[in-house]
């Protein structure tokens, strides 16, 4: 019989999907160029030309058997070595091939990481604001996601609430920095404090607590800064990566887990991931895509457009009187709405062809998210709509 649990999910309405459908429909009326669609986190810059060249060259030079043959279930061994070497160079952590497990994007990485360090019934903690897909990602493994309330002052971590919620049933903590939806990068201070608490509680409870670090936006950081790398601050860290954003390859489904070499059982965690794959139908990402990203491992697409967009939007939002934390990475911003009910706020914005997403599902009611991975020219045109919206609907 058809599984009722999954079937019933179809009746749950997705706010983002509804907004996106509205945007598409409105686009057909007035031209999509005139709809200021800030709803979707789809990269808006092309991949580096070297990636395209790498794929073509692989097809022209390798034998089809070598290019398209089964790769080992942990991923192409040479590619794993290249990833390990690149991370070791960048972050000063002695990663080796054995610490890398290739995955189908960050979703694939998280599906393995969560199963790796939890049993059904365990609790995984994450921090608001958070990516709402974490709910099925965690809960469908049999573990249970609990959410630490947001620190809305600066969208770093609410440490008091975290300490209170970090009971012995918590086996893993899931972070996402640079963060979707706030755009904020966790500071060194935050990561040090987080690690200190995790070490203390792990000792108190007499069991490991793993840090699962979801890092698809790692390279998208502004003002010449780099994002502090969580694994440098806490040994039991599983870094979950996707090339979707840095290389603008979201459709290719390519990423990895990097196990900190000082983690418990670090030498076998990737091998255990291979066991997890069998039950979830994973069997490693495309052999061609693995080999192609390995050839452009330290490159990124031209992500400067996101910083320009951030500057334009942040300045206008501040001018218009919004309470807003300045994002220092990603392509998201999370201002406070101008009325308590952010769903109502976002609905009113539609009249001005502004597609904003209420952040209730991100664990931040009263706030809204803008995904500014769109052309700068469109961001510029949207500012006038934003001004009219605010001045008309929320005078003085």
- Residues 257 and 260: their CA atoms lie apart, in Å, by 10
Q: Does 146 bind its own copies (CB under 8 A)?
A: no
Binding residue (CB under 8 A) for its own copies from 14, 29, 78, 136: 136
Contact letters for its own copies, residues 37-56 (x by CB under 8 A):
-----x-x-xx----x--xx
Contacts with its own copies: how many residues (CB under 8 A)?
77
Question: Among all chains, which residue has been given the structure tokens 């008091």?
Answer: 160
Nearest-approach distance from CB 276 to its own copies, in angstroms: 6
Nearer to its own copies, 150 or 240 (CB): 240
Residues 238-297 that bind its own copies (CB under 8 A): 248-254, 264-265, 268-269, 271-272, 275-276, 278-289
- Candidates 370, 342, 366, 345; CA nearest to 356 is 370
Query: Applying CB under 8 A, which of residues 24, 30, 33, 67 lies at the interface with its own copies?
Result: 67
Considering only 23, 74, 83, 110, the residue that binds its own copies (CB under 8 A) is 110
Please, what is the minimum distance in Å from the beta carbon of residue 134 to its own copies?
10
Residues of span 198-237 touching its own copies by CB under 8 A: 207-208, 210
Binding of residue 300 to its own copies (CB under 8 A): no
Residue 309 within binding range of its own copies, rule CB under 8 A: no
Residue 318 and residue 272: Cα distance in Å, rounded?
A: 49
Angle (CA) 318-319-324 rounded to 5° is 10
Question: What is the token pair recorded at 270?
Answer: 């990737």
Q: For the stretch 197-228, what's the b/e string if a residue is b when 16 or more beta carbons lie within 10 angstroms of its beta carbon?
A: bbeebbeeeeeebbbbbbbbbbbbbbeeeebb
340 to 379, contacts with its own copies by CB under 8 A?
A: none
- Indicate whether 137 belongs to the interface with its own copies (CB under 8 A): yes
Residue 133 makes contact with its own copies by CB under 8 A: yes
């Amino acid at each position: 019989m058809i599984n009722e649990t999954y079937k019933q999910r179809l009746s749950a309405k997705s706010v983002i999907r509804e907004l996106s459908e509205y945007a598409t429909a409105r686009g057909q009326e007035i031209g999509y160029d005139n709809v200021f669609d800030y709803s979707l986190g789809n990269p808006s810059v092309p991949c580096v030309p070297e990636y395209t060249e790498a794929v073509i060259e692989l097809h022209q030079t390798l034998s089809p058997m070598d290019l398209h043959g089964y790769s080992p279930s942990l991923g192409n061994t040479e590619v794993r070595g290249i990833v390990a070497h690149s991370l070791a160079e960048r972050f000063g952590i002695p990663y080796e091939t054995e610490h890398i497990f290739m995955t189908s994007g960050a979703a694939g990485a998280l599906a393995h990481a969560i199963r790796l360090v939890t049993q059904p019934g365990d609790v995984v903690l994450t921090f608001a604001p958070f990516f709402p897909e974490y709910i099925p990602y965690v809960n469908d493994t049999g573990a249970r996601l609990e959410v630490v309330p947001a620190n809305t002052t600066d969208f770093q971590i609410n440490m008091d609430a975290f300490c209170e919620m970090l009971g012995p049933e918590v086996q893993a903590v899931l972070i996402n920095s640079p963060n979707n939806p706030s755009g904020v990068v966790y500071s060194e201070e935050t990561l040090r404090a987080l690690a200190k608490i995790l070490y203390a509680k792990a000792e108190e409870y007499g069991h490991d607590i793993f840090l699962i670090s979801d890092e698809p936006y790692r390279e998208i950081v502004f003002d010449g800064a780099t994002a502090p790398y969580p694994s440098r601050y806490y040994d039991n860290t599983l870094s979950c990566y996707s090339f979707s954003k840095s290389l603008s390859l979201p459709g290719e489904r390519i990423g990895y887990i990097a196990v900190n070499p000082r983690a418990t059982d670090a030498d076998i965690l990737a091998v255990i991931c291979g066991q997890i794959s069998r039950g979830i139908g994973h069997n490693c990402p495309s052999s061609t895509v693995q080999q192609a990203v390995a050839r452009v491992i330290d490159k990124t697409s031209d992500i400067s457009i996101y910083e320009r967009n951030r500057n334009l939007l942040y300045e206008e939002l501040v001018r218009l009187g919004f309470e807003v934390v300045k994002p220092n990475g990603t392509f998201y911003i999370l201002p406070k709405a101008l009325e308590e009910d952010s769903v109502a706020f976002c609905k009113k914005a539609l009249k001005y062809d502004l597609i904003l997403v209420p952040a209730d599902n991100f664990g931040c009611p009263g706030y809204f998210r803008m995904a500014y991975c769109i052309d700068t020219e469109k961001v510029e045109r949207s500012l006038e709509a934003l001004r009219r919206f605010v001045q008309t609907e929320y005078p003085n």
